[in-house]
Structure formats: structure tokens, C-alpha cells
């Protein structure tokens, strides 16, 4: 870990993999209610086209989503304000108000935990979900982290009590540390 760290706080919105997490940063949390109000008013049915944004139903409410793949009866939708991807029936997909993406970009940021390699990926995923899903968390970033990247590389994830989630996973022997080996813009797993 670096000597100088940047700390960001937010809510862990979705855990896709043990090392692919979606965080709603505090500075964006207030925007979510405003966006939801606009999305909930959507009622004009839409024909989903891969790569385009729509309002789609998830657990009885409408949320912004990008169509990944459209089928005859449903579409695969990535919910851009939470990070999860789900199949949604075509009759539950609606047009978004014009300009909603320009005025409010996606409200979650994809993060990856640096320097961890799964021993038991399924159990690591379950433990992160148990420890932190929908809870306040703090991201520890190195001072060289570019927060403008599509995915933020995180040195550590701290739970609400300030305890290291990474260290907890290591203690449980669900992951191990590795030293990242960098090749240009790509990263490969080395040994610790």
C-alpha cells in the first residue's frame, strides 16, 4: 500500500464479483432521489435496442438501465445507478425523458480491489455481501488513483466500523494478496 491515501465514502450498492463492486459515492447520493422521481414517471413503452438507455422495472420500481441484449420476450438490462444486470420483460421497459443521462450520469462507480486473488470466489462474494452490501463504506485509494477511470482501483474497502474488508477476507482464507505486475495499461497477477 502507498504511504499517502485518499479516502472516499459511499454506500455499497451491488457486488458483482468479489473484486467488482459498485459504490454510490456520498456526493452522488442526493442525485439518486431526483433521478428516481423522473424515472418513476416514465410510461411510454419502448422497444429496447442494445447500447441505449431505458427505464426498466426491477422489483416493482422503475430504474435507469442500458440494454445489453434484446430478445423476443425480454431484454438483458444493466441498471446503471446500481450496477446489477437483470432480465426484464419487454412490457416493463419504457422510454426515458430526453436528456436525463446528460443531466445525471450513472450514480454508481465500479471499483475493483487491488492486490487480491480469490481462493474461494463464491465464499468471498458471499462474505463481502454479508459484511457491507447496502452499508456505508469507505474506499482507500492510493494518491495516484485516477477517479475519472471507468473502474476505480481500490487499495482497501473499509466497513462502517472502519475495519478492512480485504483483511477479513484474507483472515478467512477466501483470498490472498498478490503483487500486481503492470504491463503498459494492463495488470496481471504476480505472486506475493
Phi, psi of 66 (to 5 degrees): -105, 130
* Spatial CA neighbour of 126 closest among 86, 83, 169: 169
Task: Name the percent of the chain lying above pLDDT 70.
Answer: 81
Note the pTM of the prediction, 2 decimals: 0.70
Domains of the chain: residue spans and CATH:
5-29+106-189 (2.40.50.90), 42-96 (2.30.30.140)
* Spatial CA neighbour of 21 closest among 186, 156, 143: 156
pLDDT in tens, the chain (192 residues): 444 567 888 888 888 887 788 888 765 555 677 787 888 888 899 999 999 999 999 999 999 999 999 999 999 999 988 889 999 999 999 998 877 765 677 778 888 888 889 999 999 999 998 888 888 888 887 655 555 555 678 888 888 899 999 999 999 999 999 876 655 555 555 544
* Cell numbers given for 169: 477476507
Amino acid at each position: 500500500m502507498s504511504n499517502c491515501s485518499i479516502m472516499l465514502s459511499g454506500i455499497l450498492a451491488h457486488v458483482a464479483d468479489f473484486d467488482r463492486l459498485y459504490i454510490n459515492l456520498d456526493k452522488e447520493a442526493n442525485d439518486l432521489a431526483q433521478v428516481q422521481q423522473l424515472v418513476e414517471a416514465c410510461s411510454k413503452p419502448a422497444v429496447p435496442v442494445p447500447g441505449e438507455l431505458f427505464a426498466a422495472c426491477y422489483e416493482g420500481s422503475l430504474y435507469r438501465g442500458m440494454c445489453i441484449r434484446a430478445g423476443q420476450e425480454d431484454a438483458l438490462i444493466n441498471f446503471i445507478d446500481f450496477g446489477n444486470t437483470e432480465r426484464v420483460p419487454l412490457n416493463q421497459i419504457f422510454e426515458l425523458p430526453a436528456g436525463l443521462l446528460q443531466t445525471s450520469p450513472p450514480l454508481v462507480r465500479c471499483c475493483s480491489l487491488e492486490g487480491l486473488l480469490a481462493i474461494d470466489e463464491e465464499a468471498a462474494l458471499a462474505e463481502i455481501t454479508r459484511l457491507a452490501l447496502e452499508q456505508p463504506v469507505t474506499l482507500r485509494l492510493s494518491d495516484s488513483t485516477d477517479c475519472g477511470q471507468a473502474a476505480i482501483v481500490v487499495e482497501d474497502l473499509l466497513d462502517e466500523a472502519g475495519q478492512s474488508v480485504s483483511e477479513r477476507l484474507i483472515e478467512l482464507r477466501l483470498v490472498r494478496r498478490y503483487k500486481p505486475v503492470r504491463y503498459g495499461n494492463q495488470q496481471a497477477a504476480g505472486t506475493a
